[in-house]
Structure 1
Amino acid sequence: MSEMIGQFAALLAASFWAVATLLYHRAGSHFSPLQMNLVKGVIATPLLFLVSLLLGTSLQLSAGVVILALSGVIGITIGDSCHFAALRRLGPWHAMLLEYLAPPLAAFMAWAFLSDRLSIIESTGAVVTLSGVLFVVTEKAPDNQPALSLSGMLFGSGAALCQATGLVMAFSVLQTESLHAIDAAFVRLAAGSVLLAVIVGLSKRNAYAAIIRQFKSINPLPLLGAIVFGTFLAIWLQQVSIANINPGLTQTLLSTAPLFLIPISLLKKQKITPRSVIGACISLGGIGILFL
């Protein structure tokens, strides 16, 4: 039963993240990546705190909580900022496809730091996953989509690396300490958001006032929807997943997010090239070989 809960939670998180990515892309022209990341943290962190008070356990400072906070800095402060930067440069489809790099990166880190050796099958899965990503990102972008800039691909790859690192760190804590998934989600997001607030505040004068003015100048509903589904619910569901199944399988199922964009884009009458669909399926097949 716990495995089914973990698998369902990861798939639901992937679908939420796919919808949220489209909504974040709409609001991306009004905020810098750091500003966007901070806005979502400021709104989602209190929501997670309230749910943590209702459903979680009493949090106490420990080595595990410190590791969770550090994983939040890596995965949220750095990783999500890189993702938003890639989103602005590549668009939602290609930015999310680069997240397929996260599972093989997680496998490599498990091998390097946890002495979890890669078998021939797992190595094959990593190669197939990378091949699918390369097959897509080397395609010439359609006229109605942003060009596949080098900086965008570097930001997207950085986001995948940070995502994999943060996930492995959170898994190690949830397997050794009796922490509720919602508490882990709150610690990670709070730590990442606090550091973001410091960075944005020091970046320029009146930075917070500028963000508030920009927020008031747009229709906030798409952005609020993205934050509720893509941050508040998705991060919570991600922690539920890794509390019940291994991080490799969690990352595999989370990486199905780009596939949810296909029916959404078709409903919006947006063009997705056959090469992109084929590349996504190749990468997903590689992830399946790697972890399933």
Structure 2
Amino acid sequence: MTSDITGELTGQLAALLAAAFWAVATVLYHRAGSHFSPLQMNLVKGVVATPLLLIMSLLLGNSLELSSSLWLLALSGIIGITIGDSCHFAALRRLGPWHAMLLEYLAPPIAAFMAWAFLSDGLSTIEITGAVITLSGVLWVVTEKAPDKQPALSLSGIFFGCGAALCQATGLVMAFAVLKQSSVNAIDAAFVRLAAGSFLLAIIVGLSKRGAYNAIIKQVRSINPLPLLGAIVFGTFLAIWLQQISIANINPGLTQTLLSTAPLFLIPISLLKKQRITSRSITGALIALGGISILFL
């Protein structure tokens, strides 16, 4: 009994810590975003984080076996990481950390609807209610009239944020289908997805213009790389590690709900930076979080 309680507590704390790490990483990514395009930022993240995931998998004694399911994982990585994360960085650049992260609240209900449509995972009335509440909370924030002397929210930023949520939800459902029907380890699945997404990014960036890689290296050398490295380690490497610890100890639905508290960790960070967050934004975030809780619990 004691071990069960300890396991549950470990899973809950791991998920909350992962959410906090992702909030910190989002701020750091935003800080570095002015120096890189969304595609460049995404590629740098993949180049650093992919070897870290491979090392983590090897240390855990995992052995990745070639199978047909890996192709679906790779495709999910292309959709969720190549496209989805690039859209997220584009939204982050246009909207800032708070609104860009808040739009990620759309991913869980989208994933639930896609699981219902493609995996025959039926939605109950309560789950539909949770999805509607989540959407209402997000809309409550993004439709807020900008205060005086502050620019209105970028429509292109909202578009990219919604695109990121859609791609991340699609990649999540595809990866879930593979993990459910095969013996692929969750850490190995994360490695395959990130490696595939980063490989395609490398091709796209390389073909975009001559000397693209040298330009990125030159840019990295011209800035303080610690914030960007910190964002990658906290937001991509450690957050994924903690996510797996959480899923191993508690219900995945509870894990997703706790991970969705990430925007709330931005509140004290923003206050420390003396940035203004309106009461409407905070209320909308809490409403959206409540909807996710209903959806998954």
Give the TM-score band, short-chain normalised: over 0.9
Q: In structure 2, do the counterparts of structure 1 residues 3 and 65 end up closer, same or farther at CA, with 3 Å as the change threshold?
A: farther
Distance (Å, rounded) in 1 between the aligned partners of 2:179 and 2:52 = 21
Residue identity in the other structure for 2:36:
F
Distance (Å, rounded) in 2 between the aligned partners of 1:10 and 1:167 = 17
Residue identity in the other structure for 1:162:
C
5+ residue gaps, structure 2, are none
Distance (Å, rounded) in 2 between the aligned partners of 1:158 and 1:180 = 28
5+ residue gaps, structure 1, are none
Task: For residue 122 of structure 2, give the secondary structure of its aligned residue in structure 1.
Answer: coil
Alignment partner for residue 53 of structure 2, among 48, 69, 88? 48
Q: In structure 2, do the counterparts of structure 1 residues 143 and 183 end up closer, same or farther at CA, with 3 Å as the change threshold?
A: farther
Q: Does 1:90 align with 2:95?
A: yes
Match of 2:219 in 1: 214
Match of 2:168 in 1: 163
Alignment partner for residue 128 of structure 2, among 103, 123, 147? 123
Shift of 1:169: 2.0
Residue identity in the other structure for 1:203:
S
* Matched-pair contact (CA < 8 Å) for 1:252–1:291: yes
Q: In structure 2, do the counterparts of structure 1 residues 99 and 145 end up closer, same or farther at CA, with 3 Å as the change threshold?
A: farther
Match of 1:182 in 2: 187
After alignment, is 234-243 or 178-187 more displaced? 234-243
Please give the per-residue CA displacement for 1:70-124, whole angstroms capped at 9, x wherever unaligned.
Answer: 2111111111000000000100000000011011101101110111222111111
Match of 1:137 in 2: 142
- Percent identity (aligned): 83
Match of 1:16 in 2: 21
Q: In structure 2, do the counterparts of structure 1 residues 144 and 59 end up closer, same or farther at CA, with 3 Å as the change threshold?
A: farther
Distance (Å, rounded) in 2 between the aligned partners of 1:161 and 1:3 = 30
Distance (Å, rounded) in 1 between the aligned partners of 2:151 and 2:78 = 29
Task: For residue 194 of structure 1, give the secondary structure of its aligned residue in structure 2.
Answer: helix
Residue identity in the other structure for 1:274:
S
How many residues are aligned here?
292
Please give the per-residue CA displacement for 1:194-224, whole angstroms capped at 9, x wherever unaligned.
Answer: 0100010011111001101111111111000
Residue identity in the other structure for 2:206:
G
TM-score calculated relative to the size of structure 2: 0.92
Alignment partner for residue 33 of structure 1, among 34, 38, 44? 38
Alignment partner for residue 152 of structure 1, among 151, 157, 179? 157
Please give the per-residue CA displacement for 1:228-248, whole angstroms capped at 9, x wherever unaligned.
Answer: 001111233334445666654
Match of 1:80 in 2: 85
Distance (Å, rounded) in 2 between the aligned partners of 1:156 and 1:144 = 24
* Matched-pair contact (CA < 8 Å) for 1:56–1:182: no
Distance (Å, rounded) in 2 between the aligned partners of 1:291 and 1:144 = 39
Distance (Å, rounded) in 2 between the aligned partners of 1:11 and 1:225 = 18
CA RMSD after TM alignment:
1.9
Residue identity in the other structure for 1:24:
Y
Shift of 1:252: 2.4
Match of 2:273 in 1: 268
Q: In structure 2, do the counterparts of structure 1 residues 65 and 172 end up closer, same or farther at CA, with 3 Å as the change threshold?
A: same
After alignment, is 244-253 or 79-88 more displaced? 244-253
Q: In structure 2, do the counterparts of structure 1 residues 189 and 52 end up closer, same or farther at CA, with 3 Å as the change threshold?
A: same
Match of 2:115 in 1: 110
* Matched-pair contact (CA < 8 Å) for 1:105–1:161: yes
* Matched-pair contact (CA < 8 Å) for 1:74–1:162: yes
Residue identity in the other structure for 1:280:
A
Distance (Å, rounded) in 1 between the aligned partners of 2:206 and 2:250 = 38
Q: In structure 2, do the counterparts of structure 1 residues 116 and 186 end up closer, same or farther at CA, with 3 Å as the change threshold?
A: same
Distance (Å, rounded) in 2 between the aligned partners of 1:71 and 1:3 = 29
Q: Does 1:201 align with 2:211?
A: no
Residue identity in the other structure for 2:296:
F
* Matched-pair contact (CA < 8 Å) for 1:185–1:239: no
Match of 1:257 in 2: 262
After alignment, is 173-182 or 14-23 more displaced? 173-182
Distance (Å, rounded) in 1 between the aligned partners of 2:208 and 2:148 = 35
Match of 2:63 in 1: 58
TM-score calculated relative to the size of structure 1: 0.93
